[in-house]
Structure formats: C-alpha cells, structure tokens
C-alpha cells in the first residue's frame, strides 16, 4: 500500500526542526514517531492522527474526520482525516500540534 508522498513532504516540513521525530513504515503507510511513540502518519492519502482518548470525541466532530478502523473495531484515540480536512497548511499544523500534545504527555520509551 502506497502513501501520499506530497503529504509526507508537508509533514516533514512541519517536523523539520525536531530531532526527536523519525519516520517508520507501518500500517502499510508511513508513521512519524516522536521520541519513539507514534504521533501521526499517512495511509494512502489519509492523515492518521493520534489525538489521545481525551481529545478523541472532539476530533471526530471536526470536518472530514472519521474513526480509525483497521480490524472492524475503532482504535480509540486515533482518527483518520480525509485530504479535505487538511488542505490548508495551518490546519495540518493544528492536527500535528494536537498529536504532539498527546504524545508529549506519554512516558519515555
């Protein structure tokens, strides 16, 4: 399964200054790892956002957002955002910030 290289470049630009971010192929796409924790990623052209359980319901209410479901069960704390939901770079940065805020609260790996 391929992922949107254009979106990958946009995310690389967002994470440009952060030495704690690495990339890892997973879920048939590309994940951006922050200090070893998955922060966000790309499946085909869809943004995978790890927002955490506290922000999960609010994130699902945002436009072009849906539950992340790989196995027939939603993964709580993760949402899919369709391309229309992050066309604007500022909105993409907002999604990344939401993901970073959650991951920064996790214990070190």
Please spell the DSSP secondary structure of the chain, one letter per residue.
--B-HHHHHHHHHHTTT-TTEEEEEETTEEEEEETTEEEEEEEBTEEEEE--TTTHHHHHTSTTEEEEESSSSEEEEEEEE-GGGG-SHHHHHHHHHHHHHHHHTSPP-
The tally of domains found in the chain comes to: 1
In a domain, 85, yes or no: yes
CATH code of 91's domain: 3.90.1150.30
In a domain, 61, yes or no: yes
- Each residue of 71-104: pLDDT tens digit? 788 888 999 999 999 999 999 999 999 999 999 9
**Range(s) of the domain holding residue 96:** 5-104
In a domain, 109, yes or no: no
pLDDT of residue 1: 57
């Amino acid at each position: 399964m391929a992922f949107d290289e254009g979106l990958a470049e946009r995310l690389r630009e967002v994470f440009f200054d952060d030495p704690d971010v690495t990339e890892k192929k997973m879920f048939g796409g590309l994940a951006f790892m922050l200090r070893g924790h998955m922060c966000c990623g790309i499946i085909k052209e869809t943004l995978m956002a790890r927002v955490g359980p506290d922000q999960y319901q609010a994130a699902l209410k945002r436009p072009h957002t849906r539950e992340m479901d790989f196995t027939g069960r939603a993964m709580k704390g993760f949402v899919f955002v369709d391309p229309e939901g992050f066309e604007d770079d500022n909105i993409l940065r907002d999604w990344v910030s939401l993901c970073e805020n959650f991951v920064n609260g996790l214990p070190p790996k």
